[in-house]
């Protein structure tokens, strides 16, 4: 394992504190995050999984130079961009070592390697070295995919995968629509997916021209590229991409027949999770996804979704689905079956808690 330069002057660690007490005693996880407590990344990765858990999540006060929240913690978690943004990160980490608190770093994106063209490139590339150091600083790291684990393993050997799941306490799982007059194609993404939207734009423009009033393309969050704006069959639902509960409430009202998840081929996108598969399947929609890692292990082409490579693939798959309501219904039902069998948070919480406990007690 590579030397951890930022830990060279820190006290030695003893990592059994999270399980030294009776397992029935309620334990406290102090989370240091630069995001709001309602942000999607916090809700999906932290507060959702632990909503009914035996451990209590508490948001740490990053402005407290004494890092007093550490003293009451059984486990300290640094989340995503926090180590690169908080001036007190070093002090908090030092106190964790002084008080022998286990430290976990949690992230679900390859934040140490941001591609040019990403909407947050300048911001994230500036803190990328701090992200890589935080991975090394931690006793253990929690990530969302095997690909992300592989990419970060050069910095830390104790990396655990906690897959993203659909929070079925929030999402309404609905049956597919049966042969609607106008087929609705949805693309839900944050503004950070601007480059991905630009990538798919020529195919969607061709598709929109071909099908006219038979279809409606709705962008939720990310803005439609210029080539798609002003078209009668393209709409944009602007929304706050920070509060996850608001996002889910909006999506529970949408009636997508087809969902799309385009991704430009780069290491950053290859490390993402299959979250769009979970969302679109819950909505009763058939998904067409980029032929990249987030979906390769989940989507069986023609069975529970479709994978697209070049732009011609996107037009072909979308057109086929518009032409065949029977195909949409069959594939959407099979996608939803796989969702229910494998990805509901209510069923997978105990497994997730076990992984967290393992991460908190590495030696």
* 104 within 8 A of 137, measured Cβ to Cβ: no
Q: What is the pTM of this model?
A: 0.92
Report residue 40: phi and psi, to 5°. -55, -45
Nearest to 165 by CA among 70, 38, 50: 50
Above 50 in pLDDT, residue 20? no
My answer on whether 130 and 275 are in the same domain is: no
My answer on whether 224 and 139 are in the same domain is: no
Is 174 a member of any domain?
no
In angstroms, rounded to a whole number, what is the distance separating the alpha carbons of residues 101 and 55?
A: 15
Task: Specify the pairing of strand 258-261 against strand 103-106.
Answer: unpaired
My answer on whether 291 and 325 are in the same domain is: yes
For the residues of 317-332, what is the DSSP string, one character each? HHHHHHH-HHHHHHHH
Total number of domains in the chain: 2
Residue 186 three-state SS: strand
Instruction: Please list the alpha-helical segments (H only) found in the chain.
Output: 40-42, 82-85, 89-98, 121-137, 146-152, 194-211, 244-251, 267-270, 275-282, 293-296, 311-323, 325-342, 345-360
Is 240 a member of any domain?
yes
Structure confidence by residue, pLDDT tens digits, 22-38: 455 789 999 999 999 99
Instruction: Please list the alpha-helical segments (H only) found in 7-49.
Output: 40-42
My answer on whether 250 and 235 are in the same domain is: yes
My answer on whether 353 and 256 are in the same domain is: no
User: Any idea which of 19-33, 238-252, 331-345 has the lowest mean pLDDT?
Assistant: 19-33
Is 219 a member of any domain?
yes
Residue 156 three-state SS: coil
The domain that contains 320 carries what CATH number?
3.40.50.2000
For residue 206, the enclosing domain spans: 183-342
- Which residue would you say has higher pLDDT here, 122 or 188? 188
Residue 93 three-state SS: helix
Average pLDDT over residues 321-346: 98
My answer on whether 221 and 354 are in the same domain is: no
My answer on whether 287 and 202 are in the same domain is: yes
pLDDT value, residue 121:
87
Nearest to 354 by CA among 49, 135, 146, 138: 49
């Amino acid at each position: 394992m590579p030397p951890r330069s930022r830990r060279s002057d820190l006290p030695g660690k003893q990592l059994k504190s999270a399980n030294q007490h009776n397992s029935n005693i309620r334990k406290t996880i102090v989370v240091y995050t630069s995001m709001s407590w309602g942000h999607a990344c916090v809700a999906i990765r932290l507060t959702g999984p632990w909503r009914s858990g035996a451990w209590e999540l508490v948001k740490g006060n990053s402005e407290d130079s004494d890092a007093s929240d550490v003293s009451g913690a059984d486990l300290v978690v640094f989340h995503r961009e926090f180590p690169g943004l908080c001036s007190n990160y070093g002090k908090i980490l030092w106190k964790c070592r002084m008080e022998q608190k286990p430290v976990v770093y949690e992230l679900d994106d390859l934040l140490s390697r941001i591609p040019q063209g990403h909407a947050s490139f300048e911001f994230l590339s500036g803190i990328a070295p701090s992200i890589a150091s935080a991975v090394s600083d931690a006793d253990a790291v929690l990530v969302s995919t095997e690909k992300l684990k592989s990419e970060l393993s050069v910095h830390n050997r104790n990396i655990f995968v906690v897959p993203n799941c659909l929070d079925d306490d929030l999402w309404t799982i609905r049956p597919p629509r049966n042969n609607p007059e106008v087929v609705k194609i949805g693309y839900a993404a944050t503004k950070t997916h601007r480059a991905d939207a630009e990538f798919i734009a020529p195919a969607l423009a061709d598709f929109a021209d071909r099908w006219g009033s038979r279809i409606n393309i709705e962008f939720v969050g990310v803005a439609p590229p210029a080539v798609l704006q002003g078209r009668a069959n393209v709409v944009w639902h602007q929304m706050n991409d920070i509060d996850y509960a608001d996002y889910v409430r909006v999506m529970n009202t949408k009636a997508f027949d087809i969902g799309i998840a385009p991704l430009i081929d780069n290491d950053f996108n290859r490390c993402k999770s299959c979250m769009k598969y979970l969302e679109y399947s819950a909505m009763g929609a058939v998904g067409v996804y980029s032929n990249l890692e987030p979906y390769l292990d989940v989507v069986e082409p023609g069975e529970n979704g479709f994978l697209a490579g070049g732009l011609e693939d996107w037009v072909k798959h979308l057109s086929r689905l518009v032409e065949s309501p029977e195909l949409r219904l069959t594939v959407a039902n099979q996608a939803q079956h796989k969702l229910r069998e494998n990805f509901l948070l209510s069923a997978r919480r105990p497994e997730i808690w076990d992984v967290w406990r393992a991460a908190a007690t590495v030696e």
